[in-house]
């Protein structure tokens, strides 16, 4: 199996007006098309992936990187959820801190993948 690190990342949400934002975008889900995911190694993987990280946002500060696969959010499993369920679990209004368990391919591979896509 290729080396995949599991990391725990703690993001403190930032308040912007009435919303709490995390500063990244997600893609994927069991109701989505996994073949169009540029970050996954296995094109049948329907997990939730980080597709964009806003500069200077809370996610970048916490160390989240583009291409990471989110396995758990605050203990909730994210490998078998729909896109909307994932969004809901990340944007709960009463939570100010989210603890993510992410998997990342080794750095070289991640760079290659993002360059090729």
- Based on the shown chain and the rule CB under 8 A, indicate whether residue 87 belongs to the binding site for another protein: yes
- Based on the shown chain and the rule CB under 8 A, indicate whether residue 32 belongs to the binding site for another protein: yes
- Based on the shown chain and the rule CB under 8 A, indicate whether residue 10 belongs to the binding site for another protein: no
Q: How would you write 20-85 as a 3-class SS string? A: EECCEEEEECCCCCHHHCCCCCCCCCCCEEEEEECCCCHHHHHCCCCCCEEEEECCEECCCCCHHH
Q: Which stretch binds another protein (CB under 8 A): 39-47, 60-68, 84-92, 105-113?
A: 84-92
Choice from 5, 33, 41, 96 touching another protein (CB under 8 A): 33
């Amino acid at each position: 199996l290729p080396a995949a690190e599991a990391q725990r990342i703690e993001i403190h949400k930032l308040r912007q007006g009435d919303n709490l934002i995390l500063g990244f975008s997600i893609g994927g889900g069991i109701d989505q098309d996994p073949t169009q995911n540029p970050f996954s190694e296995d094109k049948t993987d329907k997990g939730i992936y980080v597709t964009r990280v806003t500069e200077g946002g809370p996610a970048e500060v916490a160390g989240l990187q583009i291409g990471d696969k989110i396995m758990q959010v605050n203990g909730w499993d994210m490998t078998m959820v729909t896109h909307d369920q994932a969004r809901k679990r990340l944007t709960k209004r009463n939570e100010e801190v989210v603890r993510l368990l992410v998997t990342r391919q080794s750095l070289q591979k991640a760079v290659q993948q993002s360059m090729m896509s």
